[in-house]
């Protein structure tokens, strides 16, 4: 009897497996929709064009964050990285133990899960152990007979590290001299070569996709497998990756659904889908297709399958620290407009990130042109402080050059989208206002997610203070002075940030800022010190910065190093003084704590 029961169970399992699709995810790194099937006339991408003819093209697909780790962390958790506090690039943050990552749910449901091979998650402890196989040899072919699979193949061919032509390369499919440039890039040989080489790399990536698809066909699995192809965030060249505009967040998404599951498709093969989708929706969509319950804490909406949700009317976007540089930004994008709130308007879009400056001649060339005064207004804007708010209409302005936020005719839309963003941040309990260096202090023995979900996190009040801080309006100074003495360090931090953004106009707050140089929170001290640089308190400010660099935790020290760099660039300290501040510090790993780009002359 027991044997009969076991046989019936195994038969039922195999029958159920036959009713469930395999899922193949093919990802390429650092590319916007630079594909022929998306209308790019410079692209040669025959394999992806063919896949698009057999599947669906999503016109409005977005990475929620414009950099690898934050985007992938959104995918792996099924939640906005900003809700979990895992939105800062290359961090390792604990999340609640009960929050299982999507491969764990799929494996529990009987799927064989492989990842070939990038992880790059900001969740502490996450990695290859999530997968049945996780390596550059991981493959679905090693599953048990009849077992459905979920498999990822990730290609780095279009990554920013591959943008620069290899030494000795002199020929390109498109001659650099004939390469059209976006208007925000100056016309230099380096930028032209990088763009020409990037399109060559996209063609190479397309061939790799073709190989994976051919292997699926050869194995006789194409009719049983739903294929997703997407870019992991926007394009690799400067002002693409790391930027929250379409150039950094809009991605190609192609989904091919076999005939037996065509009833789950919202359109016919070869057609466009106009629904707005973003990475937070991908795990829930896979669960919907695979008949796996969507966990209650997942924040995405299925856009395919039996549990397909009504389409979104906007997507939510975010960025925090990228590489060694801090820049806090939130945005919402609907089908026609993008609204951006810059919570660090005193920082430029284009900061000195060490990695792209190292690997991309185009980045170095653009900055050199700016420093030499050879950039026009559009090209210079990337290297200058930002407005507090941005509003664009990408359909009419694809490079997002014309900020509509101050135009009278768009004030109603601006107000609506501003409110939409506020509601998203409140609904998701966004950790946006918590400096990275305060995580341990505020979370205690729990996670920063737990803290952000609690009443201890005064989110609405913080949003009001931060909105005032980014308004660059001296009328807010009395409120800032009051907030500088608030018991909550986050309120003090954002009030001090408001003073920093106002620069010398914050003079009435000088005495209150001086008191903050002894604040219990080192992050608050750092912001107060940088603000005091504009108010003639160089000596005390410099001493505070030096102390935090030396005695702070990693992210506190990194914030202080960034402040010191900007104090030098603002002329508040000399280069010699700044270098002397870090020269003889007693740190165990000075090369990690003082990135090469800091305090380097242009």
Q: Looking at residue 583, what is its pLDDT?
A: 76
Q: Quickly tell me which residue has 């150039």 as its tokens.
A: 247
Residues 6 or more apart from 134 whose CB is under 8 A from it? 114, 115, 116, 117, 119, 127, 128
Q: What is the CATH number of domain 16-310?
A: 3.40.720.10
CA distance 87 to 94: 12
Is residue 20 packed enough to be buried (19+ CB in 10 Å), middle (13-18) or exposed (0-12)? middle
DSSP conformation letters of 139-153 = -GGGSPTT--EEEEE
Tokens at 219, concatenated? 């194995």
pLDDT at 340: 98
**Which H helix or E strand runs over 528?**
helix 522-533
How many secondary structure helices (H) and strands (E) does the chain include? 23, 13
pTM of the model: 0.95
The reported pLDDT for the residue numbered 1 is 43
CA distances from 34 to 161, 248, 273, 500 (A): 17, 13, 18, 40
Q: What percent of the chain has pLDDT over 70?
A: 94
Which stretches of the chain drop beneath a pLDDT of 50?
1-15, 587-594, 602
**CA-based radius of gyration for the chain:** 25
Alpha-carbon span 314 to 420, nearest angstrom: 9
Q: Provide the 8-state DSSP code for 310.
A: P
Contact 70, 122 (CB under 8 A): yes
* pLDDT score, position 600: 57
> In this structure, which topology does domain 473-593 adopt according to CATH?
1.25.10
Query: Beta 225-231 vs 22-28: how paired, if at all?
Result: parallel
- Provide DSSP, 415-446: HHHHHHHHHHHHHTT--TTS-GGGHHHHHTTS
CA angle, 396 then 400 then 405, to 5°: 90
Give the model confidence (pLDDT) of 231-262 as tens digits: 999 999 999 999 999 999 999 999 999 999 99
With a CB cutoff of 8 Å and minimum separation 6, the contacts of 262 are: none
Is residue 44 a contact partner of residue 248, using CB atoms and an 8 Å limit?
no
Burial class (CB in 10 A: 0-12, 13-18, 19+), 377: exposed
Q: Which residues of 168-184 are buried (b: 16+ CB within 10 A; e: fewer)?
A: eeeebebebeebeebeb
Q: Where are the domains of the chain?
A: 16-310, 473-593
List, by residue number, the catalytic residues.
68
Sign of CA dihedral 305, 308, 311, 317: negative
The whole-number pLDDT of residue 585 equals 62
Burial class of residue 3, CB neighbours in 10 A (0-12, 13-18, 19+): exposed
């Amino acid at each position: 009897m027991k044997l009969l029961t076991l046989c019936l169970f195994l038969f039922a399992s195999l029958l159920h497996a036959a009713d469930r699709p395999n899922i193949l995810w093919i990802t390429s790194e650092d590319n916007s929709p630079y594909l022929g099937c998306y209308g790019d006339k410079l692209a040669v991408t025959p394999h992806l064009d063919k896949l698009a003819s057999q599947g669906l093209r999503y016109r409005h697909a977005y990475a929620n964050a414009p950099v690898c780790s934050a985007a992938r962390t959104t995918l792996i958790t099924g939640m906005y990285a900003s809700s979990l506090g895992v939105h800062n690039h290359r961090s390792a943050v604990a999340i609640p133990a009960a929050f299982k990552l999507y491969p764990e749910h799929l494996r529990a449901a009987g799927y064989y899960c492989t990842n070939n091979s990038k992880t790059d998650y900001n969740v502490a402890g996450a990695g290859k152990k999530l997968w049945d196989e996780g390596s550059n040899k991981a493959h679905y072919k090693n599953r048990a007979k009849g077992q459905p699979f979920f498999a990822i193949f990730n290609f780095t061919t279009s990554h920013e590290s591959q943008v620069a032509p290899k030494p000795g390369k002199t020929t390109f499919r498109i001659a650099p001299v004939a390469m059209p440039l976006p208007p925000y890039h100056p016309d230099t040989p380096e930028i032209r070569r990088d763009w020409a080489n990037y399109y060559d790399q996209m063609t190479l990536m397309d061939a790799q996709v073709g190989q994976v698809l051919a292997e699926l066909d050869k194995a006789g699995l194409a009719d049983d497998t739903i294929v997703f192809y997407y870019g992991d965030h926007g394009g690799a060249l400067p002002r693409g990756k790391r930027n929250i505009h379409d150039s950094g967040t809009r991605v190609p998404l192609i989904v091919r659904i076999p005939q037996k599951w065509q009833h789950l498709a919202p359109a016919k093969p070869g057609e466009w889908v106009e629904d707005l989708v973003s990475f937070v929706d991908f795990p829930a969509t896979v669960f919907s297709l695979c008949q796996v319950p969507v966990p209650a804490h997942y924040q995405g909406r299925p856009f395919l399958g039996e549990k397909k949700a009504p389409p979104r009317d906007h997507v939510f976007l975010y960025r925090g620290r990228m590489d060694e540089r801090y820049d806090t930004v939130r945005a919402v994008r609907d089908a026609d407009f993008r609204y951006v709130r810059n919570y660090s308007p005193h920082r430029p879009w284009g900061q000195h990130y060490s990695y792209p400056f190292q690997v991309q001649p185009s980045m170095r060339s653009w900055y050199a042109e700016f420093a030499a005064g050879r950039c026009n207004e559009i090209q210079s804007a990337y290297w200058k402080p930002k407005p507090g708010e941005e509003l664009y209409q990408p359909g009419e302005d694809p490079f997002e050059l014309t900020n509509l936020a101050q135009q009278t005719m768009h004030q109603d839309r601006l107000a609506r989208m501003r409110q939409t963003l506020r509601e998203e941040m409140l609904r998701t309990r966004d950790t946006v206002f918590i400096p990275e260096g305060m995580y341990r202090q505020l979370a205690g023995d729990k996670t920063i997610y737990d803290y952000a979900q609690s009443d201890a996190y005064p989110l609405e009040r913080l949003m009001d203070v931060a909105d005032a801080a980014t308004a660059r309006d001296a009328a807010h100074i009395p409120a800032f002075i009051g907030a500088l003495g608030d018991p909550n360090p986050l309120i003090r931090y954002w009030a001090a940030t408001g003073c920093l953004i106002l620069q010398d106009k914050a003079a009435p707050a000088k005495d209150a800022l001086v008191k903050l140089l002894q604040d219990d929170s080192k992050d608050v001290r750092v912001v107060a010190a940088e603000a005091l640089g504009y108010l003639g308190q160089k000596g005390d400010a410099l001493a505070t910065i030096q102390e935090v660099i030396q005695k702070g935790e990693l992210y506190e020290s990194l914030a202080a190093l960034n402040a010191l760099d900007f104090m030098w660039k603002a002329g508040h300290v000399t280069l010699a003084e700044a270098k002397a501040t870090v020269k003889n510090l007693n740190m165990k790993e000075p090369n990690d704590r003082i990135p090469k780009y800091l305090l380097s002359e242009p």
